[in-house]
Amino acid sequence: MKLRKLITVLFIGLFFSLYAQQEDANKILEKSLSQAKKENKNVLLIFHASWCGWCKKMEKNLNSDAVKPLIDKNYIPTYVSVQERGENIKKYENPNGQDLMNKYQGKEAGLPFWVMLDAKGNVLDNSFDKNKENIGCPASPEEVYEFRDKLQKTSSLTASQLQTIYDNFVQKKS
């Protein structure tokens, strides 16, 4: 009898852990803003999806050995999964993520879409360029220059550090 109860409890626990939703996007942002206040930083809020190749490239560039320490010194990088497909909706998508993205004018932006926020949650800048197009993961020299300019305006990164980020992001043509 005890073994049956144990198996039932384990099965129920496994079932709920497999089908548990991801953390609510608003809670994720709330935690990041709180951390930003404590550390006197801004938040780099990035909306992405598991299927998005440009999202993966953005994350890879931000987490490269050369860029990660520079970003981490100035921002709380925060990822919210949106627009997942099929089974990945349950697996990866953050509830209320799309609503949060829409709040920051990213409804039609495409992915990745990012927003730079101060510790109070005020928008400092976003991934729209001067033509109101989403640069997403910047790759061309023009896009990366625009990203670099936005970083310069919202951080204490030096010219040398900004150049390191530029060099890491710009897509080299072979």
CA 162 to chain centre: 20
pLDDT of 17 > 90? The answer is no
Looking at the predicted structure, is the pLDDT value of residue 86 above 70?
Answer: yes
In a domain, 108, yes or no: yes
| Euclidean distance between CA atoms 127 and 7, whole angstroms | 50
Query: Does residue 152 sit within a domain?
Result: yes
| Domain carrying residue 134 | 24-169
Q: With pLDDT > 70 as the criterion, what percentage of the chain qualifies?
A: 86
Per-residue pLDDT at 113: 98
pLDDT digits 0-9 by tens, 88-145: 888 999 999 999 999 999 998 999 999 999 999 999 999 999 999 999 999 999 999 9
Q: Tell me, yes or no, whether 8 lies in a domain.
A: no
CATH at 33:
3.40.30.10
Tokens, residue 47: 């909306």
For residue 12, tell me if it sits in a domain.
Answer: no
Q: How many CA atoms lie within 13 A of 121 on its CB side?
A: 12
Is residue 6 in a domain? no
